[in-house]
Amino acid sequence: MDVADFDYPLPPEAIAQRPAERRDASRLLVLDRARRAWADRRFADLPDLLRPGDCLVVNDSRVLPARVIARDEASGGEVELLFATPLTPTRWEALARPARRARPGARLSVADGACVFRVVGLGGDGARVMEPERGEILPLLERHGVPPLPPYIEHYAKPEAADRERYQTVYADPAGSVAAPTAGLHFTRALLGDIRGRGVEIHAITLHIGPATFRPIRAARIEDHRLPPEQARIPPAVADAVNRARGERRRVIAVGTTATRTLESAAGPDGRVRAWDGPVGLYITPGYRFAVIDALLTNFHVPRSSLLVLVSAFAGRELVLGAYRHALAAGYRFYSYGDAMLIE
C-alpha cells in the first residue's frame, strides 16, 4: 500500500503542547468497528465503557531522562544526545545532533565538565556508541538528562518541571523507554482503582520504546518499512491471565500500540500468549490477523507513521481516517499530550 494512503492534513494548532490539567480530563473518542460509528466521551468515562471481566493490559515501561545537552570540547559547539540503546552499563548507543560534532574520538562535556562522554564508535542507523569517562550511564542520565519530549512539542528542548511527571504513566516501573507509551498517560491512580472495583483485570507488560517507533515511514510503500527490535517482557502470570480471558471469551484490551505489538508477538499459532523476555520487531499492517486483542485504547497518531498503520489494520483505514476527520472538526487534541481513542 502507498504510504500516502495513511496521510491526513493536521493543522499545527491541533497538536497538544501540554497535557490536560488533569490526566483523566482528556477527551475520548469511542470508535465502534461493528457499527462503523463513533461517539464523543471523556476519558473519565472509561470505567463505564468497560465490562466486568475485561482484561486491560498496559505497558509499564518508564521513560528515561534520555536527552542530554553536551559540548564538543574541540569546537565548543553544542551537541544534543538522545541515549537510546544500552549495550553495557557503561556503553550506550545515542543519536547525536548535529552528528558532525560527535565523530568517533570526540569528547563531549556535560554541565561544564561534571561529566564527559567519549564517542567510541558508530552504531546502527547513524547512532554513536558513547562511553563516560567515569561511572555508569544510567545514573548519569538521572543526574544530567531531561525528559525526551517529541520535537513537535515546542518546548521539547527545555522541558518544564511538570513534564518529568506528566510525560510518564502513573504505573511506570522499569526504566528503558525514550518515548512515553502515551495511551497510558490519561490514567490516574483513582481511575485505575475505579476500574478494578468494577471487576476489570489490569495487568502490566513491558516494552521499552526506542526512537524509531514514532518516526514517519520514509518508504513509498508501507510494506518496505521496517521497525527495529525493542526489548519486551511478558511475565508468565500475565500470559496466563490473558489466556484465561481469551478462553472465557472475555475481552483483552491493549492500552497502546506498544502493548498490542508485544501481545501479538508473543502469540503462538494457536493464539495463546507465551511468557516473553526478548526483542519485539513486529510491524503490523492492513491484512494482519489479530490473534490476541479485542479492543485498543490509543492516542491520535502522526500521519504516515507505523502507529497509524497499526490502528488502521485493527479498525480499517477508511473508518480510522473518518474518525480522525471528525476529531479534528470537533477540536480534539492530537499526539502525545493529546486526547485518546477507544476502538472496540
Helix 317-329 crosses helix 306-315 at what angle (to 10 degrees)?
110
DSSP for 136-184 reads -HHHHHHHH-B----TTSTTTTS--TTHHHHTS-TT--SEEESS--GGG
Using omega within 30 degrees of 0 as the cis cutoff, is the peptide bond preceding 98 cis? yes
pLDDT above 90 (res 308) = yes
What is the reported pLDDT for 156? 94
pLDDT, position 293: 98
User: In the β-sheet with 37-42, what is the strand arrangement from edge to edge?
Assistant: 37-42, 27-32, 340-343, 295-299, 252-255, 55-59, 201-207, 230-234, 276-280
Looking only at the bridges linking them, the beta strands covering 91-97 and 252-255 are: unpaired
Assess whether pLDDT exceeds 80 at residue 213: no
Residue with cell 500468549: 273
Boundaries of CATH 3.40.1780.10 in the chain? Answer: 3-63+165-343
* Grid cell digits, residue 8: 491526513
343 pLDDT more than 80: yes
Neighbour count for residue 121 (Cβ, 10 Å): 15
Residue with cell 521499552: 208
Give which of 343, 253, 251, 252 is closest to 300, Cα–Cα: 343
Given a cut of 90, whether residue 215 has pLDDT beyond it is no
Q: Which CATH class is domain 67-144?
A: mainly beta
- Domain 3-63+165-343 -> CATH class: alpha beta
| Beta pairing class for 340-343 and 27-32 | parallel
Pinpoint the residues of the chain covered by CATH 2.40.10.240. 67-144
Interval 308-314 mean pLDDT = 98
Tell me the whole-structure pTM to 2 decimals: 0.95
pLDDT recorded at residue 211: 87
Do 197 and 48 form a contact (C-beta atoms < 8 A)? no
pLDDT in tens, 61-89: 999 999 999 999 999 999 999 999 999 99
